[in-house]
Structure 1
């Protein structure tokens, strides 16, 4: 009786086992490299975040230190034994409150005017076809490429002829003109991203064109209006160069101009007061931005890709 030929067990399935082993090793190696890559990018992100936050921290830290520590040879990284005297000095300054009132008036005017005009213009170029539409859109793009400094002389002469130099209304006009091109382009993307068929369907159900727009389309444009409003607010609140040209009267200074006036040229500057003023100006903006940053970010991205 013949005995069946025995096949060595080591040779059974050897090619498949080898391939499987290589795949497992390759997968584990890829996962290891992926984890290392994520760790490296996480460290880079943390360093970038620290570099971004440090100037803000240094401003607040300096605002809480007395002048002798600020002028010392060794930097003080922690405001141990700090004081609020610098903050109280700013709050007691009547010119600070005058500048705050002017800045608030300018911001409110710019915010309302920019949103109204930009929204109507974006609605026109997105919903209607009229002669000169493409030229208008091209003009918006070209205006954004013009350096702001190149318009200072003409803007000043225009406001001077209207007797609007050193007035909140005059400064609001030039701010609105500077902000409008970008806000129009941003809102155009939002309006174009809302299908007009939604309004038509509402009109079929019995709504008028105006009612269909305000009930159906307008709520969908709220994120875009929020993003445009935040942009207009930040630009009008922090702008310096245009205000320097238009508001030549010290009694009509906005907050950035008031802050620049704290830096003395003929005597030593009290940097503690300067930093306290900077913190009082910047902290409300930072808090406001933290509340709306999600809507602003989504609005900027959506407005850039829609339409």
Structure 2
């Protein structure tokens, strides 16, 4: 009968390593590879469907704006126009005075965006950093202000603005939009400020920076994506708002774009579809351009540059 010598520690470790190499996967399993091969095309298909869903209203406006009245009144109109008809654009600009209305909307939207950003930035920082009793009251006011509908406040708001002479005044409309957009902007910026580590500010204070210098040099660059998102929301809300402008502005020369677009709906509900589509397409261009200018900031990292020496 033969005897086997006990294995040394070196041999045992070698066998263990060989066993571990045998058990370690050399690559993804067959089921994982199959799932990845199936999942990736489904993701692309879902993305394409979602993009078509988002782009369909703009594409519908584009095709409708170039159709002739005969095509629009046809019992079975095609989706694409048979020819490019530019008359709808010329008639829309002439009838609704779109350039003046666009200028008014631009003044109101830009001014509202600037005011909301300037007011909400320090207020959001105070709400996120200073733990006081007023913080709970302020947060409750922000949430409560979003509950009231337009129709509930429009009559007292109209009376107040009438008493101070801000009816038929773009400045009055800017004030209304600023007050209405401010709570949501505060709520958004507060979340962005809370996401910035307070240790970064403490490090700046230890290096001798004042609170103002810390806010400008550390907090503000990291808060840029939040400021861009808040500015985009405020600009689009002021650009597209209709109800407040309808009640507060009666002068045709001071009307904003949404009010100008309402001219294409007749008293009997008859819609001049071609001209309305052309005017609506022109009205969407500024907001699209504004989004294209700032969309890179929306995707930038919140803490980009926080670890730079």
Correspondence 1:154 to 2:121: no
Contact map agreement 1:164 1:170 (CA 8 A) in 2? yes
Aligned pairs for 1:241-252 within 5 A: 241-252=243-254
In structure 2, the residue matched to 1:182 is 184
User: 1:193 aligned to 2:195?
Assistant: yes
- Aligned residue number for residue 129 of structure 2: 127
Quote the Cα distance in structure 1 between the aligned partners of 2:269 and 2:182. 41
Change in Cα spacing, 1:178 to 1:212, as seen in structure 2 (3 Å) is same
Aligned length: 279
Q: Would you say the 8 A contact 2:92–2:278 is kept in 1?
A: yes
Larger mean CA deviation between 231-240 and 204-213 belongs to 204-213
Deviation at 1:240, TM superposition (A): 1.1
Q: 1:106 to 1:217 in 2, by over 3 A?
A: same
Matching residue of 1:305? none
Aligned to 1:69: 71
The separation in 2 between residues aligned to 1:29 and 1:127, in whole angstroms, is: 49
For the pair 1:213 / 2:203, whether they are aligned, the reply is no
TM-score w.r.t. length of structure 1? 0.80
Instruction: In structure 2, list runs of 5 or more residues that go unmatched.
Output: 1-24, 304-309
CA-CA distance at 1:297 after TM superposition: 6.2
Q: Distance in 2 between matches of 1:201 and 1:32?
A: 49
Shift of 1:226: 0.8
TM-score after normalising by structure 2: 0.80
Query: Do the aligned partners of residues 41 and 218 (structure 1) sit closer, same or farther apart at CA in structure 2, a change above 3 Å counting?
Result: closer
Aligned to 1:255: 257
Counterpart in 2 of 1:12?
A: none
Using the TM superposition, give the Cα deviation of residue 79 of structure 1 relative to its aligned residue in structure 2, in angstroms. 2.8
Cα gap change, 1:200 to 1:42, in 2 (>3 Å): closer
After superposition, the C-alpha distances for 1:141-189 in whole angstroms (9 at most, x for unaligned) are: 1212322332222222221222211211111111111111111011111
**CA 1:75–1:190: 2 relative to 1, 3 Å:** same
Name the counterpart of 2:84. 82
**The 10-residue stretch of structure 1 (287-296 or 255-264) with the greater mean CA deviation from structure 2:** 287-296
Structure 1 portions without partners, runs of 5+: 1-22, 303-307
How many angstroms apart in 2 are the aligned matches of 1:298 and 1:151?
38
CA–CA separation in structure 1 for the residues paired with 2:108 and 2:134: 32
How far does residue 191 in structure 1 lie from its aligned partner after superposition?
A: 1.7
Contact 2:96/2:260, CA 8 A, preserved across alignment: no
Aligned to 2:206: 204
The SS at the match of 1:282 is helix
